[in-house]
Amino acid sequence: MGKMSHAQIVASLTAENPKAKLGDLNLYAEAFQQWQEATANIRENGAVCAHPRTGQPMPNPYLAVQTAALKNLKLFARLKTDSLWRVEGEVP
């Protein structure tokens, strides 16, 4: 499955966590979307890419975005999120 929308992520989380606070689910969904975007960019462009001005190799800036998103996702370790990760095929 491709990139999930914010609404799809929240719906999946709500189904798995019916008593969770909506704010927590929305924050998790935001971080999950950031992780999806960063991971897609890294898969497409690699961990090392060309600097836009100089053309010199440099670390892909999305590595930092991916790392920050994973850090934020781990703040919600109490949430059940298996359905999201099974669909995405990655585990943090």
Residue 41 lies in a domain: yes
**What percentage of the chain reaches a pLDDT higher than 70?**
91
Asked whether the predicted pLDDT for residue 92 surpasses 90, the reply is no
Give the model's confidence band at 1: pLDDT under 50 very low, under 70 low, under 90 confident, else very high.
Answer: very low
Task: Give the tens place of pLDDT for each residue, 21-43.
Answer: 999 999 999 999 999 999 999 99
Provide the mean pLDDT of the chain.
91
36 contacts 4 by C-beta, under 8 angstroms = yes
Give the whole-angstrom CA distance, residue 73 versus residue 91: 11
Domain range enclosing 14: 6-88
Q: How many domains is the chain built from?
A: 1
pTM: 0.85
- The CB-side HSE value for 4 (13 A sphere, CA atoms) comes to 23
